[in-house]
Amino acid sequence: MKETIESLLDHALDQLIADGMIETKPGLQVTRTKDAAHGDFTCNTAMMLAKQAGRAPREIAQSIIDALPDDASVEKVEIAGPGFINFFITQENTLSIINDIISGGERFGKSNAAEGEKVQIEFVSANPTGPLHVGHGRGAAYGATLATLMRAVGFDVDCEYYVNDAGRQMNILAASVWLRYLEVNEVTLTFPVNGYKGEYIYDIANSIKAQHGDAFVFPADEVFKDIHADETDGGGSNGGDKEKHIDDLITRAKHLLGTKNYQQVFKAGLDSILDDIRQDLEEFGVPYDNWYSEQTLADRGLIDKAVEQLQMAGHIEERNGALWFISTKFGDEKDRVVIRDNGQATYFASDIAYHMDKFARGYQRVINIWGADHHGYVARVKAAIGALGEKEDKLDILLVQFANLYRGGERVQMSTRSGSFVTLRELREEVGTDAARFFYVMRKCEQHMDFDLDLAKSQSNDNPVYYIQYAHARICSVIGQLSEKQLKHDIENGSQNLNLLTERHETDIISKLDAYADIVHKSAFNAEPHLLVHYLRELATLLHSYYNAHQFINDDSNLHDARFNLIIATRQILHNGLTLLGVSAPEKM
RNA sequence: GUCUCGAUAGCUCAGCUGGAUAGAGCGGCCCCCUCCUAAGGGGCAGGUCGGGGGUUCGACUCCCUCUCGGGACACCA
């Protein structure tokens, strides 16, 4: 309908140009009105033209209206306020949305607006050093919802998890597992400050013991001989360096265990945690198309290749024995090391290789969803993309702000290493997947979010997701009443009598239903799932209000059938919308 | 210090590329189940949209500036 009005206006403006009244057309802004007294759609073009035409806005508005072609769906057009042109749509045309929704079913609201553009969304990608915590949950929910929304408007979306299975953190994990394994085998030791301390490390250690017995056991004095002191050693401020301490332990582990056995421990840790993460995400309704291993980048020589490619393009310089990418040429604030003086590639180098490979795989658009703490990383990655000859705007980096957790009014501190955190799994088990998914996407992603655990965990009606689900269940219940009371609903007769839906509650719902497809489109293209959340909340409010004000089951069979058509359409939209959010639409509550 | 996100009702937040009297939820107060699920509905109270400039017919929205918060600024991963 909006398109129709835009095209009518476009014709009218062409006419005004032909008449010499104006010279250029401004961008058309046709919007849905907030107030029914202003009609169904409004346009501010006359006011925007006032200056160039040198005439009063209302006068221009009249000229535009005079030039508008006739259209059967437009009931009347009015000038209002300072010069708004308000369009009133015929009732027949407005009501057709109900039939459209019923016949469209689950497909209603979907489109092919994006024409199958190939997109990759990479999200979560947490280091596999421990279970996902509630902070990761936001990225997971947001990424999965965005993927679903984008698919709904015709993008060809792949979801990817980048597995950081190489590097120092993973070695720290391996060392942590090994040390816990020693403890499990009755070796007494002081666990390093910098090690991973979560309970799950013991689980992994125990499974290694079950499989390999004491094959990897060494006495404590052999393990800790000549190792740098840990931070807490020596007491007080005379402690050692916790970084050197853990690095020494890693070296010692590799030495004592030998490459093969060390790899076994390493792999046991990685596999166990990665399996856990996979399962966790799957249960959260967050499916991935691809799990991309960082290690394979090095194995396939892609890191060297990326550095080489930058070198050939003249973007690499050697300084103090290290290789630097001159990222300042591409808008970064300082240059970045890609190969350290010890010959090791930096994490950034593998990131460059990774992004190079993303484009090599044919994605027309790449979306990275990162935690806000990676903000400083955006400029350098974009610089690398530019240096490799790709268009920087093909890469969108969306920063998801942290969710601050509150429990009993107190801010909860999270740390993977100290082991004191709330896992995503715990959250899911306590509040349910529906509430968790919904909560996470309620706010736009760049907004800080206060996640009140007590509130989310409470099964009370404070949880907004129930409100929307309840609207859906209520409609289902009413429909269930039909068979219980031996009543019928004739859809065909209902659609003949939609003009009986004249109550304010009814017209409000109808115009809200009419806005659904727009909301889906906007949510997807702007990457703002919260728009859909708010929409569904508003629709549910209208439904509940309608329910309290009017009886759907009615003695007047024409009105009865028409009302059932309306609530069936409403149920369909609630169902479709909740599904896009990854939230269930229960028939009973 | 630089970059970045934010500041809207007591609290948590919407406000669509500037548009007509700024909206929800929670909390507070008052009403509504002999009636399709009260996990609901109706009403009242509550706002200098952080401060100050500017652009515009018109600013919560755009620009500048200041104040106050979150976060980021490694040859770490």
Q: What is the pLDDT of residue A579?
A: 96
Of residues 342 to 401 in chain A, which lie within 7 A of strand B by their beta carbon? 342, 344, 346-348, 372-377, 399, 401
Q: What is the pLDDT of residue A460?
A: 64
Q: What is the pLDDT of residue A565?
A: 97
A363 in any annotated domain = no
Residue A186 class from Cβ within 10 Å (0-12 exposed, 13-18 middle, 19+ buried)?
A: exposed
Q: Which nucleotide's C1' sits nearest to the alpha carbon of A338?
A: B75
The gap between A73 CA and B69 C1' (Å) is 52
Question: Domain range holding A45?
Answer: 2-89
Q: What is the pLDDT of residue A81?
A: 83
The reply to whether the CB atom of residue A188 sits less than 7 A from any atom in nucleic acid chain B is: no
Reduced to 3 states (helix: H, G, I; strand: E, B; else coil), residue A451 is strand
A370 in any annotated domain = no
Q: For residue A346, give every residue at least 6 positions away whose Cβ sits within 8 Å of its Cβ, in sequence order, or none.
A: A336, A337, A338, A339, A340
- Please check whether residues A474 and A576 belong to one and the same domain: yes
Q: What is the pLDDT of residue A411?
A: 67
Final residue belonging to a domain, choices A273, A293, A313: A273
Q: What is the pLDDT of residue A410?
A: 67
A344 in any annotated domain = no
Give the integer Cα–Cα distance in Å for A433 and A409. 23
Final residue belonging to a domain, choices A239, A273, A307: A273
- As ranges, strand B nucleotides with an atom below 7 A of a protein CB are 2-6, 12-17, 19-21, 24-27, 35-42, 56-58, 69-77
Q: What is the pLDDT of residue A413?
A: 61
Of residues 487 to 526 in chain A, which lie within 7 A of strand B by their beta carbon? 522
Q: What is the pLDDT of residue A351?
A: 94
A345 in any annotated domain = no
- Please check whether residues A576 and A468 belong to one and the same domain: yes
The count of domains in chain A is: 3
A397 in any annotated domain = no
- The residue ranges of chain A whose pLDDT is under 70 are 234-239, 408-421, 457-462
Q: What is the pLDDT of residue A358?
A: 94
DSSP state letters, A329-395: GGT-SS-EEEE-TTSPBPHHHHHHHHHHHHHHTT-SEEEEEEEGGGGGGHHHHHHHHHHTT--GGGE
A330 in any annotated domain = no
A409 in any annotated domain = no
Q: For the CA atoms of chain A, what is the radius of gyration?
A: 31
Q: What is the pLDDT of residue A234?
A: 62
Give the integer Cα–Cα distance in Å for A535 and A30. 19
The reply to whether the CB atom of residue A31 sits less than 7 A from any atom in nucleic acid chain B is: yes
